[in-house]
Amino acid sequence: MRNTDLFEMAKRYMPGGVSSPVRAFKAVGGNPIVVEKAKGSKIWDVEGKEYIDFLCSWGPLILGHSHPLVVEAIFQQAQKGLSYGLTNVHEITLSQMVCQLVPSIEKVRFVSSGTEATMSAIRLARAYTKRKYVVKFDGCYHGHYDSLLVSGGSGVATFGVPGTAGVPEELAKLTLVLPYNDHLAVKEAFNKYGEDIACVIVEPVAGNMGVVVPDFEFLKVLRKETEKYGALLIFDEVITGFRVSLGGAQELFGINPDITCLGKILGGGMPLGAYGGREEIMDLVSPQGFVYQAGTLSGNPLSMVAGIKTIEMLTKEKPYSYLELLTKKLVDGISELLKEKGIPHRINWIASMFTLFFTRGDVRDFKSAKASDVDMFGKFFRALLGQGILIPPSQFEAWFLSLAHTQEDIDIALEKIKKALGSL
Ligand code: PLP
């Protein structure tokens, strides 16, 4: 069957035809593809068309699709049980690995998604501090939890308004929204409301307004102000965990948050999230403490073994400088092609994630990201798809590379991008 026919059918049974909104390609126009299979750096649609995949399932697949060791571990485990609803030995192994690798984590609780991790972290921070207010940054996404699905008003530091239908205004008002990378706004907010702020949650490298690398001063001020006022600092490392380095952004920048949220790579492509931090904080979580949080499939052995194998590979192979070189080759190549065509652009990148923004100015927060030409991005996306290159279907997302991508993939991708640009 064709992509279009299947998607029409999908729309009859699922809202918008998808299980997560951005998959409908609304931000770029055109029809979404329906996936048949994937392997390594490639993905195929139901029409048999092959794409080099720079979406990588939005980040988890740092080893590429279906890495043989991960698949074998899942296969072996599946024969011994899919879920027990009781503690299993793999949970203990993975929790130990996380505590050893992520600098600020002494204890960790597994959940099934990034959203669950951030939601639970906020609840824990509110319980620990006995305060209500949460600070978040405009353009950062932390999953679809009510308190975090808010947008800012027109001022620099504003109390949130619901970012979607269904979030009560009363709840949105408990979230203070500040511009990313603006350390002065952080100081001002703490000066005014510091005694009532439970926590600050931040993507220590933003990925959800497109990639925005933080000023070191910004992260430093976050750490200093939260400490000064007794609020907790939450690093949402759902994307950056095991991506920008084994120990995440906190290891890279040398700044320890109080609570860390993990997801994506942690589960190696299986549904998995986690939140962790200092023992003194984590021991407030039930049944040790009085902050309730639970999950039927939490710690399920399939996600555990996929996570263990993925992190074992990363620990053994230490692929970060290779991935960085590969990413640089792609980023430099794209930039060169765009310069030749005289197309204004900026590329923000770190480690093996990057975003190409169609804009003239530097992108350092959501406001500057939004100055990008999204129509141009839509045309670029569709031309790339036509050439067999899959990138995130939105200007405000990150491209990811994996260990399965080869130098040859990058050469081929650049050739195809050149052709695509020629057709614009
Ligand atoms: N936090 C960040 C930084 C994310 O990028 C995402 C998802 O993309 C989430 C949280 C939510 O994770 P999930 O989609 O697994 O609920």
pLDDT along the chain (424 residues), means of 10: 96 97 94 97 98 98 98 98 98 98 98 98 98 96 94 72 91 95 97 97 97 98 98 98 98 98 98 98 98 98 98 97 98 98 98 98 97 98 98 97 98 98 94
Under a CB-based contact definition with an 8 Å cutoff, are residues 326 and 407 in contact? Answer: yes
Instruction: Detail the DSSP E strand segments found in 27-151.
Output: 35-39, 42-45, 50-53, 107-111, 133-137, 150-151
Dist. CA 382 → ligand 1 center (Å): 25
pLDDT of residue 170: 93
Q: Which of 42, 107, 136, 264 is catalytic?
A: 264
Q: Where are the beta strands (DSSP E) in 179-218?
A: 197-202
Radius of gyration of the chain (CA): 21
- 399 and 391 in contact (C-beta within 8 Å)? yes
236 Cα to the center of ligand 1, angstroms: 9
Kind and range of the H or E element at 36? strand 35-39
Q: Taking the chain, what is the end-to-end CA distance rounded to the nearest angstrom?
A: 29
Beta strands in 240-319 (DSSP E): 259-262, 273-277
Residues with CB under 6 A from ligand 1: 58, 113-115, 118, 141-143, 203, 207-208, 236, 238-239, 263, 273
398: which 2 tokens?
Answer: 């990150």
- Residue that has been written with the tokens 């976050």 in this structure: 222
Where are the chain's structural domains?
3-62+319-422, 68-316
Q: Is 141 designated active site? A: yes
> Which of 45, 146, 182, 236 is an active site residue?
236
Distance CA 419, CA 414 (A): 9
> What confidence score (pLDDT) does residue 153 get?
64
Cis ω for the linkage preceding 287 (within 30 of 0): yes
The neighbouring-strand residues paired with 42 are 39, 52
> Quick check: pTM over 0.95?
yes
DSSP symbols for 306-350: HHHHHHHHHHHH--HHHHHHHHHHHHHHHHHHHHHHT---EEEEE
Contact 218, 203 (CB under 8 A): no
Report DSSP state, residue 166: T
Pick the CATH number of 3-62+319-422 from 3.20.20.100, 3.40.50.300, 2.60.40.2140, 3.90.1150.10: 3.90.1150.10
Could you confirm whether 264 is annotated as catalytic? yes
Distances 144 to 113, 134, 229, 284, 324 between C-alpha atoms, Å: 11, 15, 28, 24, 30
User: d(Cα 372, Cα 198) in Å, to the nearest integer?
Assistant: 34
Decide if 118 contacts 148 (C-beta within 8 A). yes
Q: Which of 132, 199, 144 is nearest to 171 (CA)?
A: 132
Choose the residue to mutate in 56, 137, 142, 148 for probing ligand 1, maximizing ligand atoms within 8 Å of C-beta: 142
pLDDT number for residue 161: 87
Q: What are the φ/ψ torsions at residue 346 (nearest 5 degrees)?
A: -135, 140
Tell which atom from ligand 1 comes closest to the C-alpha of 114. 12
Q: For the domain covering 68-316, report its CATH number.
A: 3.40.640.10
CA distance 328 to 18: 33
Q: Is 144 exposed, middle or buried (0-12, 13-18, 19+ CB in 10 A)?
A: middle
Question: Quick check: helix, strand or coil at residue 124?
Answer: helix
Q: Which two tokens stand for residue 265?
A: 């790579």
CA angle 414, 417, 423 (to 5 degrees): 150
Residue from 198, 185, 200, 192 nearest 155 by CA = 185
Domains 3-62+319-422 and 68-316 alike in fold: no
Instruction: Ligand 1, residue 271: give the atom nearest the CA.
Output: 15
- Asked if 323 and 403 touch (Cβ cutoff 8 Å), the reply is yes
Both tokens of residue 315? 């620990």
User: From start to end of 164-303, where are the E strands?
Assistant: 175-178, 197-202, 232-236, 259-262, 273-277
How long, in residues, is the chain?
Answer: 424
155 Cβ neighbours under 8 A, 6+ residues apart:
none
Element (H, E) at 52: strand 50-53
